Structure 1
Amino acid sequence: MSKFSDVKSIDSMIAFLKEKGKNHEYYYHYTTWDSLKKIIQNKTFLLTRGNSLNINDQHEAHMKGSWEEWNRIYIGSFAFGSSENMAMWGLYGLPWQDAIRLSISREMMNRWVSSIDQIKLFENGETIDYQGGFEASLNDIVYVGGKRGSNDLHLTHYGKSITVSDTYPLYGIDTSPRMTGYIKNYAWQYENEVRLRIRLANDTGYEKISIAVPDEVIESIIVTTGPCFRWKNDELCNKLNNEYRIIESGFKNLVNYRELCTMCQYKSFKRKE
């Protein structure tokens, strides 16, 4: 199914989002330098339960899909589209002098997802093997605008929209448990989000899970440094630079994110141990 307008059921919506999710040229993950170091050193990637209080969008967990389903669903968020996103730098690259964006090609991203054969439950730096079943996939997000339960909902995917009334087959899609992890409020549409989504067969109570990252994926990652990034004089930074795997933001020194610490009596940020 190639056209968003052809989607007429929840089954076809999920199929559409999964098909689009695995076909982007690149997948971008906005994060920080310290997080990259952990990914490379441990060869792992952490996913967070969708109703965790550490997720920025609490509206999704409470108002979209099913809370019970969220207890089993873990997400890793990526973006598609080649342009840098200023809001994403500001939201996910904190502190801003450490902000980076990881780029993974379509081939490597799909190889990674296909290679997932073990889940580890993660807490306080420790992991234990998860013995139950799971489903792993990549999927785009559909964004919904309009009041919950209204007769005039608008579903949007990458600039294309469908209007849903109470006579349309997709009416009520925003609260369907089956759409948990596939749908968000329109306010977040600027993210162009594509998710690495893992649904466990069991509600484990854990907030995070860990998955392995294959060597070939790690060795393919390209790093774009944020507009306010400060060079790291460490082994990893020098290695990636020598391998031509670090690219400067196209907005370097052209964007000035104001530090909250400038409003604090102590004036500077100090990372907790």
Structure 2
Amino acid sequence: MKFDQIETPDELKLYLDSPFVYKSTVKCFYHYTTLDSLAEIIHGSSLKFSSLATMNDILEENVFGKYCNEKFFCLMVSKTENFGMWAMYGGLTKTKEEIDRNPKAINVKICFPASTLKKLCEQGVRAHLVAYADFAGAYKDSETEDANKGYLYRCGAKKTSQFFNCDKEQFAGYLKDWAWQYESELRLCLKKENPNDNKPSIKSFAPDFLKDLKVVPSPLISKEECEIKFSEVLKQKDYELGIDINNLFVVNDYYGRVRPKDLEILKKEIVF
């Protein structure tokens, strides 16, 4: 089934719940973060899961958040470079002075092979895709509304659109506002032990999930400089990692090719 062939809420849910079926040609999924968070992931062989209440989509926080019993670790599904993601989550607008002053805040893109994500899903988490929608009246939530009656959602794919009256509890975590469509998101999901717990949760995994990870530095910094800065971060944290840093980082093909005027254009385009 192709996304633009979906006609019912059940078909939409089936599609989103089958990421490794419908995205079988995607070999790698990406997470944008900082060197500080990268050190925590590798040192603890763990990932940090966040609740919808802390997400940057107002719709998720205010409308879907109270119906969601899971926390999420977010990744991007794409075969090409995404400068929107670098601008929003990858520190592409940071200055050289900021990078030199705070190595922990240097941004990177972690590449998770699909095979690695499948292994993680065998250790207590599940994965699903996200659909992006225009929400008719979604910001007009009311206390008297039946919790099981959703709004009318239009989920678009290319030139086609579908309309659904979705169950907000069923689709919490699955639907985001259309403005975020550039994220092309896949989420790893961890069930909440307490429905009212909105604090981040750390989940550890078998350490072998780290062996196939690769890390791409921000286009603002070279591979060699990023390795040096990461060593500084590890020293500050007093962490010793059982991996070869030289084999962890790979060259960003766009290093040195992003001009200041390109960043100004990105700043203007990434507005919500």
TM over 0.5: yes
In the TM superposition, residue 208 of structure 1 has moved relative to its aligned partner by 0.9
Calculate the TM-score normalised by the size of structure 1.
Answer: 0.72
SS across alignment from 2:180? helix
SS across alignment from 2:212? coil
For 1:240, which of 241, 245, 253 is the aligned residue?
Answer: 245
Distance in 2, matches of 1:102 and 1:160, equals 32
Is the Cα contact below 8 Å between 1:40 and 1:218 reproduced in 2?
A: yes
- Please identify which structure carries the higher helix content: 2
Letter in 2 for 1:14: K
* Distance of aligned partners of 1:177 and 1:246 in 2 relative to their CA distance in 1, 3 Å threshold: same
Residue of structure 1 in register with 2:255 after alignment: 252
In the TM superposition, residue 249 of structure 1 has moved relative to its aligned partner by 1.7
Residue of structure 1 in register with 2:53 after alignment: 51
SS across alignment from 1:202? coil
Distance in 2, matches of 1:200 and 1:155, equals 27
Q: Taking every aligned residue pair, what percent have the same amino acid on both sides? A: 19
User: What 5-or-longer segments of structure 1 have no aligned partner?
Assistant: 117-135, 165-169, 260-273
SS across alignment from 2:122? helix
* Distance of aligned partners of 1:56 and 1:153 in 2 relative to their CA distance in 1, 3 Å threshold: closer
In the TM superposition, residue 210 of structure 1 has moved relative to its aligned partner by 1.2
Letter in 2 for 1:137: R
Residue of structure 1 in register with 2:32 after alignment: 30
Report matched runs for 1:37-76 at 5 Å. 37-52=39-54, 55-63=55-63, 66-70=64-68, 72-76=69-73
Distance in 2, matches of 1:5 and 1:107, equals 27
Distance in 2, matches of 1:257 and 1:35, equals 27
- Please identify which structure carries the higher strand content: 1
Tell me how many residue pairs correspond in the alignment. Answer: 223
Calculate the TM-score normalised by the size of structure 2.
Answer: 0.72
* 2:12 maps to 1:13: yes
Residue of structure 2 in register with 1:88 after alignment: 85
In the TM superposition, residue 58 of structure 1 has moved relative to its aligned partner by 2.2
* Distance of aligned partners of 1:42 and 1:32 in 2 relative to their CA distance in 1, 3 Å threshold: same
* 2:226 maps to 1:231: yes
Distance in 1, matches of 2:135 and 2:201, equals 33
Letter in 2 for 1:67: G
Distance in 2, matches of 1:113 and 1:257, equals 41
Letter in 2 for 1:197: C
Is the Cα contact below 8 Å between 1:4 and 1:160 reproduced in 2?
A: no
Letter in 1 for 2:113: S
Distance in 2, matches of 1:160 and 1:3, equals 13
